[in-house]
Amino acid sequence: MDQEERTRPFVITGFILLAFAFLFKWRFIYSEPVGDRLLGFIGIPTWSNGNMGLHYTAIVAILLLIIGLFLLAKRYSGKMIFIFFLVFTILPSDLFANVYQSSFAKGIYALEFYQDDSHCEYDTNDSGILVGKCTLSFRNHSNQSSTFHVSVHPKYDSKGFNALDIINLKGQLEIEPLENKTFEISFRQPLHSTIYQDVSGEIFIFNVRIISEDYTREL
Confidence of residue 157 (pLDDT cuts 50, 70, 90): low
pLDDT band at 1 (very low <50, low <70, confident <90, very high): low
Read off the pLDDT of each residue in 67-87 and give the average, rounded to a whole number. 80
Range of weakest confidence among 139-143, 148-152, 180-184, 192-196? 192-196
pLDDT tier, 197 (very low <50, low <70, confident <90, very high otherwise): low
Question: For the chain, what are the domain ranges?
Answer: 3-95, 103-218
With vertex at residue 211, the alpha carbon angle to CA 208 and CA 216, rounded to the nearest 5 degrees, is 85
> For residue 8, what pLDDT is reported?
81
**pLDDT tens digit sequence for 21-46:** 887 777 666 656 777 777 777 777 77
The reported pLDDT for the residue numbered 193 is: 58
Give the C-alpha separation, 54 to 47, whole Å. Answer: 6
Global confidence as pTM? 0.61
User: Cα 122 to chain center, whole Å?
Assistant: 25
pLDDT in tens, 158-170: 555 566 666 777 7
pLDDT of res. 67: 85
pLDDT above 60 for 196: no
For residue 65, is pLDDT > 80? Answer: yes
